[in-house]
Amino acid sequence: MSDIRDGLKGIGLRHLCENVEDIIALATKRRWSPMQLLEYIVEQEAKDRARRSLERRAKRSRLSTFKSMADFDWSWPKKLNRKAIESALALDFMPDNRNVVLIAPQGLGKTMIAKNIVHNAVLTGYQALFVTAADLLLDLSAQESARALDRRLKYYAGIGCLCIDELGYLSYDVRNADLLFRVVAMRYERKSMVLTTNLRFAEWPTIFPGAACTIALIDRIVHHANIIPIEGDSYRLRDAKMKRIAPESADANP
Give pLDDT tens digits for 180-196. 999 999 999 999 999 99
d(CA 4, CA 131): 43
Q: CB under 8 Å to 206, separation ≥6 — which residues?
A: 171, 199
Q: Which pLDDT band holds residue 105 (cuts at 50, 70, 90)? A: very high
Phi first, then psi, for residue 143 (nearest 5°) are -65, 135
Of the listed ranges 3-17, 70-84, 100-114, the least confidently predicted one is 3-17
Flag whether pLDDT at 244 surpasses 90: no
Q: For residue 241, what pLDDT band results from cuts at 50, 70 and 90?
A: low
Mean pLDDT of 157-186: 96
pLDDT at site 226 = 97
Q: Would you call 32 exposed, middle or buried from its count of C-beta atoms within 10 A (0-12, 13-18, 19+)?
A: middle
pLDDT tens digits along 23-36: 999 999 999 999 99
- The answer to whether the CB of 228 falls within 8 A of the CB of 81 is yes
Contact 230, 108 (CB under 8 A): yes
pTM: 0.84
User: Is it the case that residue 116 has pLDDT exceeding 90?
Assistant: yes
Average pLDDT over residues 36-52: 92
Which bin fits 166, alpha (ψ -120 to 50), beta or left (φ > 0)? left
Picking from 144, 187, 179, 143, the residue whose alpha carbon sits closest to that of residue 162 is 187
How far apart are alpha carbons 18 and 196 in whole angstroms?
Answer: 43
pLDDT at 94: 97
Sign of CA dihedral 241, 246, 248, 249: positive
- Provide the pLDDT for residue 50: 87
| pLDDT tens string 132-152 | 999 999 999 999 999 999 999
CA dist., res. 254 & res. 250, Å (int)? 6
From residue 230, alpha-carbon distances to 92, 113, 147 in Å are 19, 11, 40
Show the domains of the chain with their CATH numbers: 2-60 (no CATH), 69-237 (3.40.50.300)
Residue type present at position 39: E
- 229 forms bridges with which residues in the sheet? 103
Q: How confident is the model at residue 83 (pLDDT cuts 50, 70, 90)?
A: very high
Average model confidence (pLDDT) across the chain: 92
Eight-state DSSP code of residue 79: B
pLDDT at 65: 85
Task: Give the pLDDT score at 2.
Answer: 86
State how far the Cα of 154 lies from the Cα of 26, in Å rounded to an integer.
47
Instruction: Specify the pLDDT at position 248.
Output: 53
At 192, is the secondary structure helix, strand, or coil?
strand
Say yes or no to pLDDT of 172 above 90.
Answer: yes
